[in-house]
């Protein structure tokens, strides 16, 4: 079975699972699914950063418990219509600054690389994985927007993959990824415009602002992909893991979503 076939079968299985959890299962199941993804994602991140096994175990537990606590705190605020409270503003600003910093690292690699300190990795992993919890918030409050976010990231990645294979000539970030091309990014953004336009037509919510936000979200999904590539390059590996045939590890599948989710979630509040 070639890589494309494996990639396709895995993608279909993931779509079926995620859409089933969103539309058919109790909301708690989706939350537990995200907790499992966070745990596996951090485990892969810990291996990329070469943390000692003991540190990996205890830090994984700490990070997941912390993120679960933040998630429940957010729900209480949402149910009381207090989305923009000081603590949430600080959290979202922290994640925003985190991704601006990551953008700087992507553009300046290998001259600039993430610091290799234990405490730094804990903070880094919390800020990196916390955006997953915004998916649970959207699942509780606005499923159509959750679907749009997932579609934007998935279509940007798929269109970029096939556009790059067909038309790619100019490398996007050769020091980080030998396969990503500028033409692929353009193809991915065209796909984002198409799927967002289809979503707006289906839900009868025409908005130029949403189209612009979708483009920015798509761009940051690429940044998330390249940011993970920094750690893979430093670790000397192609994938963060092998749990998903044709895709690699969990981080390889959600890296774009981790960067796109906070941008999208903050952006929709102003539309």
Q: On the CB side of 6, how many CA atoms lie within 13 Å of its CA?
A: 10
Cβ atoms 21, 33 nearer than 8 A: yes
Residues 144, 68: Cα–Cα separation, whole Å: 23
Which string of b and e fits 48-84 if b means at least 16 CB within 10 Å?
A: bbebeeeebeebbeebbeebbebbeebbebeeeeeee
Residues 152, 154: Cα–Cα separation, whole Å: 6
The residue with tokens 């500028």 is 182
Per-residue pLDDT of the chain in tens (271 residues, 90 and over written 9): 666 677 778 878 888 899 899 988 888 888 888 888 887 887 888 788 777 666 667 766 776 676 666 656 555 444 444 445 566 667 777 777 888 888 888 888 888 877 766 666 677 777 777 777 788 878 888 899 999 999 999 999 889 988 888 887 888 888 877 778 899 999 999 999 999 999 999 999 889 999 999 999 999 999 988 888 888 888 888 888 788 777 788 888 888 898 898 889 888 878 7
How many folded domains does the chain comprise?
1
128: domain range? 3-268
């Amino acid at each position: 079975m070639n890589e494309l076939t494996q990639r396709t079968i895995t993608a279909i299985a993931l779509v079926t699972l995620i859409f089933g959890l969103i539309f058919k299962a109790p909301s708690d199941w989706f939350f537990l699914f995200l907790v499992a993804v966070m745990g596996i994602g951090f485990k892969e991140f810990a291996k990329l950063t070469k943390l000692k096994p003991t540190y990996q175990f205890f830090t994984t537990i700490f990070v997941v418990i912390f993120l679960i606590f933040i998630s429940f705190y957010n729900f209480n605020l949402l149910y009381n219509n207090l989305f923009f409270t000081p603590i949430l503003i600080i959290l979202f600003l922290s994640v925003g600054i985190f991704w601006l910093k990551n953008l700087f690292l992507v553009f300046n690699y290998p001259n600039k690389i993430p610091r290799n300190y234990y405490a730094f990795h804990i903070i880094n992993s919390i800020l990196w994985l916390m955006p997953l919890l915004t998916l649970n918030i959207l699942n509780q409050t606005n499923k159509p927007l959750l679907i749009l976010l997932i579609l934007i990231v998935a279509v940007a990645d798929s269109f970029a993959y096939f556009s790059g294979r067909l038309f790619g000539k100019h490398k996007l970030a050769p020091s980080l990824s030998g396969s990503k091309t500028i033409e692929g990014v353009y193809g991915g953004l065209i796909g984002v415009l198409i799927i967002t336009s289809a979503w707006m037509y289906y839900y009868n919510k025409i908005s130029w602002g949403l189209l612009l936000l979708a483009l920015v979200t798509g761009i940051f999904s690429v940044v998330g992909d390249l940011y993970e590539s920094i750690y893979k390059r430093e670790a000397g590996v192609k994938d963060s893991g092998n749990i998903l045939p044709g895709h690699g590890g969990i981080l390889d599948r959600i890296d774009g979503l981790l960067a796109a989710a906070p941008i999208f979630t903050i952006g929709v509040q102003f539309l």
